[in-house]
Structure 1
């Protein structure tokens, strides 16, 4: 749906046809606002296609219970201003998101841990439905159009958006209001290349340094090649200065560079920012989450007492993944005596092995980069934005939605929920402003 570029002025122009931009466009048009979208790609929502392993994890219903859904959701979001997302989530939360997609003809289903997907389990369905919705509403999308600069004037029109197009060369669009829905730095091949940050900074906004979020951790260990591919259910803790600053439970996966898996991805934001501050960051793994330290000692001492004639290596078969055993023995100081019998094991070695089961520590050296990340932590400083409307305090008529702001969510549908919530909130706030309600 690449409309003719002859109509160069619109009441509202939205830069970016990702999740937040699509939501904003449909909402704004339904509220009677002349709206168009500028998109650098040749089609809408490229990044949406990659979410939820190609199924599009639209939201998460697990927090949509209780008397205050927004308060339940707030623990899942992170920002330099911790309370900033709340008014937005109160206005348009999980229930409203489900209802919205139902009105577009896209029923949602919950599969695991409250994660909700389109019934088709295809991310492409989400984009197909949005494309139909935009066509029904006659919302133009100017594809293959890269925004070079935004000029703000005191007169009319308020915004001049200077663009480079594939077919027409340089083109200038004008609008009375402008939405920045450009995303962050993740998945640059889909168009989220950080260009929105540059545009916002030129307009006076401050950038909170972006770091990869929901991404794998790189670890310092000589055993990563041996451990690669091993999985276990347990706790991961991020430690700074000996103190736990975040903990997550789930399936941990060792890789040839470090660690991955849901709990690792959730921990990565904390690790990235602490590393950026020059802190020494430790990942501590608990491989026996159902037992206390004392219970682990009792369990293993009893086990070794029963099988004292076996080697220590053989005694651990069936307790931990077999690939872990030689590494654990080395970590416990048994490099030279892998055939040691349980009955001959020293108290020091027993203590070391028991400790590793509950606190196996690794130095975190880095995270994987933005191409591997699911979201961007950091972004445009929310202190420059109006709470509850997402309008710029510096440039009246300029609104923000989605990942471009310094708001990011946990894994599990929360980042897309922020896209839907912020896109809808910005469009509703603009409609109120035009109607003289704000």
Structure 2
């Protein structure tokens, strides 16, 4: 070791001071493990500051009302290995999360749709509480250390972590156990740039190709600028090979690049994976969700019959957003007939309107980037991890937690819940291993 090199040893090294890494460190120390964190930033939880519009949507209590909390909660998660999240969530679900934060000194409150936040409604409070918890437990955090390589050896010590410090000197850390809590590819400015994938792959793990999740969709449509800013309550459906593969309801927003809103964010994972497979992806939207197709036909036929003397454009006033009307006329092919009366509508044109109001289809060309995404879909293959412990099947002593693995949740606090759950379970599993349980 040269004179510019420092070296430290801990029983457990955790790479990453995001949500899962912080939870893992506090839990591990509470269970008697000598744990330390390596973090590339100058403070803990930098990405957490960006969540929940700066309020930090810690979890969601909407699944915590029944007796099968973990089962209900697990339905909010996605992975190539569908059942993988359940054993983790059974050990640390929403109720335990609420209690755990209360013991750390952070009471939570519930707002819309069961979303839970710190009582202060400030994401910074979450980080401050964690920093206090680390200080209380004397958990060292080695800030401004960029991990260059991880070397595994079957002999003591198992793991050698080589880092570059802010002064460009080299620091070497060794440990018997290693947690990868490095996040995915979202918010690269906060340090979650996918570097953990490379570390895991060097140790022999396989990467499920990551795509942006909980993100806006880009559409191939010539009138997006005219649609931009229009909001409506309705259904969105992702269609691949004429099959609807997921549907979501809520407020949908057209933008100058495509479409957004909570339902679209929920649908984006399916769209992104299908696009990555070079499949053709269609988004169908329902502008009149409160009526069936038959009811829409009856409603419009009645309206056109009563107001047959009005123009077709005027017949839609009060039913849909006024800015949508000229675009629907273009889609129906009558935009060059501004004075066409309802009584003169052809059956062929009527059928176009019925379809547009219930099944308006757009071609999805892409998603917005990881910079705009709230989570990463994909990651390290969970079939290479032990269910219920999160230890690697390939590298003894290596555990993964958080977004680095191929598990992602719906929006509404579920991705942070996975960070807390997986960080806790990894630490608990290691403690059980060390105590021979």
Normalised TM-score (structure 1): 0.98
Aligned equivalents of 2:173 and 2:278: distance in 1? 44
Residue 365 of structure 1: aligned partner: 365
Residue 348 of structure 2: aligned partner: 348
Aligned equivalents of 2:10 and 2:120: distance in 1? 35
Residue 169 of structure 1: aligned partner: 169
TM-fit CA distance, 1:7 = 6.7
Give yes or no for the alignment of 1:54 onto 2:54: yes
Residue 390 of structure 1: aligned partner: 390
Match of 1:113, SS state, is helix
Q: Is the 8 A contact 2:7 2:171 kept in 1?
A: no
Match of 1:186, SS state, is coil
Give yes or no for the alignment of 1:304 onto 2:338: no
Give yes or no for the alignment of 1:263 onto 2:263: yes
Matches within 5 A, 1:289-438: 289-437=289-437
Match of 2:175, SS state, is strand
Q: Which runs of 5+ in 2 are unaligned?
A: none
TM-fit CA distance, 1:235 = 0.2
Residue 215 of structure 1: aligned partner: 215
Q: Deviations for 1:34-53, whole angstroms, at most 9, x for unmatched residues? A: 11100001111111011111
TM-fit CA distance, 1:343 = 1.3
Residue 285 of structure 1: aligned partner: 285
Q: Is the 8 A contact 2:328 2:353 kept in 1?
A: yes
| More divergent stretch after superposition (382-391 vs 297-306) | 297-306
Aligned equivalents of 1:347 and 1:214: distance in 2? 40
Match of 2:174, SS state, is strand
| More divergent stretch after superposition (341-350 vs 169-178) | 341-350
Q: Is the 8 A contact 2:6 2:170 kept in 1?
A: no
Residue 181 of structure 2: aligned partner: 181
Runs of 4+ aligned residues of structure 1 deviating over 4 Å after TM superposition are none
Aligned equivalents of 2:358 and 2:403: distance in 1? 36
TM-fit CA distance, 1:132 = 0.6
TM-fit CA distance, 1:123 = 0.6
Aligned equivalents of 1:296 and 1:119: distance in 2? 45
- Alignment root-mean-square deviation, CA: 1.0
Q: Deviations for 1:382-435, whole angstroms, at most 9, x for unmatched residues? A: 011000000000100000000000000000011000000000000000001111
Residue 139 of structure 1: aligned partner: 139
Normalised TM-score (structure 2): 0.98
Matches within 5 A, 1:25-174: 25-167=25-167, 169-174=169-174
Match of 1:80, SS state, is coil
Aligned equivalents of 2:242 and 2:65: distance in 1? 36
TM-fit CA distance, 1:168 = 6.0
Q: Which runs of 5+ in 1 are unaligned?
A: none
Aligned equivalents of 1:7 and 1:130: distance in 2? 26
Q: Is the 8 A contact 2:6 2:172 kept in 1?
A: no
